[in-house]
A and B are shown apart, each in its own frame.
Chain A
Amino acid sequence: MNNTMIKVENLHKNFGSLEVLKGIDLEVRKGEIISIIGPSGSGKSTLLRCLIHLEKTSSGSIIIEGSPISFEEDGRQIHFAESVIRERCRKLGMVFQNFNLFPHKTAIENICEAPVALGRKSKAAALAFGERLLERVGLSEKRNSYPCHLSGGQKQRVAIARALAMEPDVMLFDEPTSALDPELIGEVLAVIKELAEDDMTMLIVTHEMTFAREVSGRVIFMDEGEIIEAAAPEKLFTDPDHPRIKTFLEKML
């Protein structure tokens, strides 16, 4: 059985003349937890955003569970219709640095909005599932709170529950704790760790080195739009092949 969830080949992304991704190759297998680290501006977030098509790729292939959303064949780029891409990207869920909760909806409404809007679940089923998810992220008592009445950590936990409500096969985290006060980071990381224990496939862009080391099966170091090294955390954090990684890690600690 093929258990490749995401396959990326020779992915390029330019913003005007600025080359942000310079040929990324990556394969994500089912149940894998991959942390992506590296200095700011290295293209980590752009890579995640390309995977879920928030950014249009310039060239290269992205294949999600066998279905391409971007495909390059013999140097020719094949384009897909928006609706096709949207359908294929539904296998992925995403959590943002700034949460991006819907401010006019309560916690439970945020979670149930998409499954109901897209006809994935009946209202009652979505509600029941949403309540289970809220319980899972430890926020049952905040069910009817609006985002403006939640702390940053609570917002991010609701955002995680909202992404899970669409029952994605892969979760993408784009610096999920970067906008949080230090004392609130732990509660969000704990939720992500719990997902890890449930074998959720995850790609996590993060600056939390200890967390990355603890939770991931593979760590990817990116710099200037390229993957410099991808290795098991023990290897990458203690004995990286590349001097650039050493310098980066020294600065982080």
Chain B
Amino acid sequence: MGYLLESTWYILQGCTTTLKLFALTLLFSLPLGFICAMAKTSKVKPLKFLMELYTSVVRGTPLLLQIFFVYYGLPIFFPGLRLERFTAAVLTFILNYGAYFTEIFRGGIQSIDRGQYEAARVLGMNYRQTMSRIILPQTFKRVLPPVANEAITLVKDTALVVVLGIGEVLRNSKEIVARDFTISPFIIAAVIYLMLNYVVVLIFRKLEQRYSVYE
């Protein structure tokens, strides 16, 4: 029992890094996705093209490969640009999740009925007023389920940074597995991820409930 507690405590220490990666990624990729979605739904052709390039490259290649590329590849192209391991990981995650959020928000914005734009327009609202007061609040509600999906995936994806040797939940459990030849740390890790995601699900369920008063 003492052994299990000790292992759990050690693995839990990795939680700080996991949670930091999770929080920083959401904190920056959500606004990034929002801005890119606005650009993608705008009428500015070069901007739309740039966003198309961004989302297709990022969504079309493995996240693991992107982590390798940013950490090992960037210094080759830009000598001197040697990023801290954690910084490289966060940066990659933000760019990666930003691309997915871009597509989720774009889909959300475009799913709003054209009649909503027309109603706002005949009432005299300009584009900015229409977006901020009419379209985006409705979009927010619609994108909650897919955003929740991404957040859940993100909790699990944080484990990928084990390849950079960053001491998060999976890395810490692996260390014990390698030292003690037992797989119980993996089970502990699984339970930790499960619990983290349970919290994520709860938060999003609350949000969805709050916005379910209409429709």
A-to-B contact residues, CB < 8 Å: 52-54, 83, 86-87, 89-90, 92-94, 96, 98, 100-105, 113-114, 117-118, 146-148, 162-163, 166
Partner of B118, one of A89, A100, A114, A163: A100
Contact at A104–B122, with CB atoms within 8 Å?
A: no
**CA gap between A162 and B138 in the complex, in Å:** 19
Q: Are A93 and B119 in contact (CB under 8 A)?
A: no
Decide: A101 and B129 in contact? CB cutoff 8 A: no
Q: Are A104 and B141 in contact (CB under 8 A)?
A: yes
Whether A118 contacts B124 in the complex (CB less than 8 A), given A103-B138, A104-B137, A104-B214, comes out as: yes
Those of B167-215 within 8 Å (CB) of chain A: 213-215
A98–B122 touching, CB < 8 Å: no
- Pick from B113, B121, B137, B213: contact of A54, CB below 8 A: B121
Q: How far is the CA of A102 from the CA of B141 in the complex (A)?
A: 13
* Residue among A92, A114, A147 with most chain B CB within 10 A: A114
Is B80's beta carbon under 8 Å from chain A? no
- Docked Cα-Cα span, A114 to B115, in Å, equals 16
The 9 closest A-B pairs by CB, nearest first: A114-B123, A100-B119, A100-B115, A94-B122, A146-B214, A90-B124, A117-B129, A103-B214, A104-B137
CB contacts (< 8 Å) of B129 on chain A: these are 117-118
- Docked Cα-Cα span, A213 to B56, in Å, equals 58
Question: Which B residues are closer than 8 A to A by beta carbons?
Answer: 113, 115-116, 118-126, 129, 133-134, 137-138, 141, 213-215
Closest to B141 in A: A104
Bound-state Cα–Cα, A114 to B138, Å: 17
Please measure, in the bound complex, the distance between the C-alpha atom of A89 and the C-alpha atom of B138, giving whole angstroms.
26
Most buried by A among B116, B124, B129, B213: B124
- How distant is the Cα of A93 from the Cα of B118 in the complex, in angstroms? 12
How many Å lie between the Cα of A163 and that of B123 in the bound state?
A: 7
> Closest residue of chain A to B129, judged by CB?
A117
Contact B125 A163 (CB under 8 A): no
CB atoms of A113 and B121 under 8 A apart: no
With a CB–CB cut-off of 8 A, which chain B residues contact A54?
118, 121-122
Q: Apart from A86-B126, A96-B118, A113-B123, what 4 extra A-B contacts exist at CB < 8 Å?
A: A98-B115, A104-B141, A117-B129, A162-B123
Which residue among B115, B120, B214 has the maximum number of chain A CB atoms within 10 Å of its CB?
B214
Quick one: which of A98, A103, A114 contacts B124, CB cutoff 8 A? A114
Complex: chain B residue closest to A118, CB-CB: B124
Q: How far is the CA of A83 from the CA of B213 in the complex (A)?
A: 35
Tell me the bound Cα distance from A163 to B138 in angstroms. 21
Taken together as a complex, chains A and B put the C-alpha atoms of A208 and B120 apart, in Å, by: 27
B123 adjacent to A146 (CB under 8 Å): no
Whether the pair A148, B118 counts as a contact (CB closer than 8 A) is no
User: Considering residues A87, A96, A102, A166, which has the most beta carbons from chain B within 10 angstroms of its beta carbon?
Assistant: A102
Given the interface pairs A103-B214, A104-B138, the reply to whether A118 lies near B125 with Cβ below 8 Å is yes
* Contact present for B123 and A166 (CB under 8 Å): yes
Task: A98 to B125: give the CA distance in the assembly, Å.
Answer: 19
**CB-defined contacts of B120 to chain A, threshold 8 Å:** 114
Closest chain-A Cβ to B42's Cβ sits at a distance in Å of: 15
What chain B residues lie within 8 Å of A118 (beta carbons)? 123-125, 129
Complex: how many Å from CA A147 to CA B115?
A: 14
Contacts of A93 in B (CB 8 A): 122
